[in-house]
Amino acid sequence: MAAKMKVLIGIVTHNRADIVIRAIESALNQDYPDTEIAVFDDGSTDGTHALRARFPQLSWHRVERPRGYLLARNQLMRETNADLYFSLDDDAFFMNRDEVSRGVEVLKERTDVAALAYDILSPDRPRPSKPATPFPTHMFIGCGHLLRVSAAREVGCYATNPSAYGSEEVDLCIRLLDCGHNILYLPGVHVWHEHSPVARNRAAQVKSNLCNDLTFVYRRYPFPQVLWRFPQRALIHVAYSLQAGYFRDCTAGFWLFLKSLLRIVPTRRPIKQDTYRKYLRLTKSYADFFVRSHPLVDES
């Protein structure tokens, strides 16, 4: 008989009192029995604290000044006695009752797997994938994923970045791969991500994502690949910002990276060459799956 596995569903929220309710209710509705739900209120000023009275069965955490969702996630994972940690964004929710139990079933069978990437749906990607056999992948999306707590602690959980948003999930995943763990993608096991505009600054995200992405490439890509991958990533960001009208924010992202160099340089911990090659193969296999399962032309 497989050992029981306790799951902590962690929801980090900031100034989304009206939105986070749906995430909480979907977590409470999960059919997996050994589950704890924790809400981390990251310095909200909109009355989120009043939800404690409405949901007293939850574990509530709060800091008075916002510290960012990465530090909140790390705190929840480091303090829990649960075996698994399901990270659910405050503007995301489970679409059915069995998403957690289906993930636990996979991790019970596959002790080599450290993380499960759920099939994330959103307003710009509403079409669900068909259920299929889980397959290896290179990363998960942060708004809905299941982590083996022991593996996350082994690699130090989420790394601190110069800015608040961007590249945190891929950085954690590539370190898990480098330690010999695997990551699986679960086709057809869905979490909805609303991409709420509340407490979201798109221009600031462009700036932050560029800075953190360049930091990720510098920290993790091995030599000599880092020599050409770094300028390549920089050019990709420039091309996107010109097309989307965010060039000023792109420039601010480069400037933020340069200002942070003294803190970034000592943190370089490149992955092994074998891990790098595996990461590239997994990236391609996921891209191929995404194209097959989400064609541009609806063939139905």
Rounded-to-integer distance, Cα 91 and Cα 81, Å = 26
With cut-offs at 50, 70 and 90, classify the pLDDT of residue 82: very high
Residue 43 has pLDDT above 80, yes or no: yes
Burial class (CB in 10 A: 0-12, 13-18, 19+), 167: buried
| Cα separation values, 291 from 120, 129, 295, 297, Å | 15, 11, 6, 11
Question: How do the domains of the chain map onto residue ranges?
Answer: 7-193, 202-269
Instruction: Report the half-sphere exposure of 113 (CA within 13 A, side-chain side).
Output: 26
What band does 300 get if pLDDT is binned at 50, 70 and 90? very low
Q: What is the C-alpha to C-alpha distance for residues 74 and 66, in angstroms, rounded to an integer?
A: 14
> What is the fold of 7-193?
Spore Coat Polysaccharide Biosynthesis Protein SpsA; Chain A (3.90.550)
- The model's pLDDT over 223-252, given as tens digits with 9 standing for 90+, comes to 999 999 999 999 999 998 999 888 999 999
Confidence of residue 42 (pLDDT cuts 50, 70, 90): very high
Per-residue pLDDT tens over the stretch 270-298: 999 999 999 999 998 888 776 666 554 44
Q: For residue 299, count other CB atoms closer than 10 A to its CB.
A: 4
Share of the chain above pLDDT 90, in %: 80
pTM: 0.92
β-strands 113-121, 144-148: how paired? antiparallel
pLDDT, position 195: 79
CA-CA distance, 222 to 276, in Å (whole number)?
7
